[in-house]
Amino acid sequence: MGSISNRMMMMRCSFKQITVLLCVFNVLAILLLLQSILSPLFERHASQQSHLPPEQLKYIKEAEEIRRAMEPVDLIKRVKQIQLELESGVQSQSQKEISRQKQATELSKRLTDLRSSSDQKALEEWRKRKIERAKKREPTNIGTNA
């Protein structure tokens, strides 16, 4: 039985070792594939710049200068200005909306204050009338009681 358990231990270790070796092999294979795929791109890019004759390089530079000269720089600047104006216009509209909301809340507060003050005034008038009626009744009540 001891030899069987030793064999199992050796197989377990060997399975672990094989798994690790397989993972390392896969990583190396991926690195080699990436190198083989990407290296021609870099070599081509470097070789194109070094193998061009000076006349062709001059022609390329002139073409780039002509292209840059043909760009409508003023138009691009004006478009950017218009975009900034529109963005600020959107902000001013939101600010207008906020001020309108503030004015509406202020107006509603004033109306509630006015209503409460008018209610207080009405209550005071009612009390005065009630007192006047009570005063008018007192002499008649006093006269009938006597």
Q: Tens digit of pLDDT for each residue in 61-104?
A: 999 999 888 888 888 898 899 888 888 776 777 777 888 888 88
Cα separation, 12 vs 15, in Å, equals 5
Q: Tens digit of pLDDT for each residue in 20-51?
A: 999 999 999 999 999 989 888 777 665 555 67
First CA to last CA distance, the chain: 132
Q: How many beta carbons lie within 10 A of that of residue 13, not counting itself? A: 10
pLDDT at 140: 61
Residue 133's identity, in one-letter code, is R
Cα dihedral sign for 22, 26, 32, 35? negative
Phi/psi of residue 53, each to 5°?
Answer: -70, 155
Cα separation, 140 vs 117, in Å, equals 35
pLDDT at 11: 61
Cα separation, 117 vs 134, in Å, equals 25
Q: Is the pLDDT of residue 136 over 80?
A: yes
pLDDT at 25: 97
Q: Tokens 């190198």 label which residue? A: 35
Q: Running DSSP on this structure, what letter comes out for residue 18? A: H
- What's the CA angle centered on 13, arms 11 and 19, to 5 degrees? 100
Q: Tokens 């909306």 label which residue? A: 97
Residue 54: pLDDT band by 50, 70, 90 thresholds?
A: confident
| Separation in Å, CA 56 to CA 52, 86, 107 | 6, 45, 76
Cα separation, 13 vs 21, in Å, equals 12
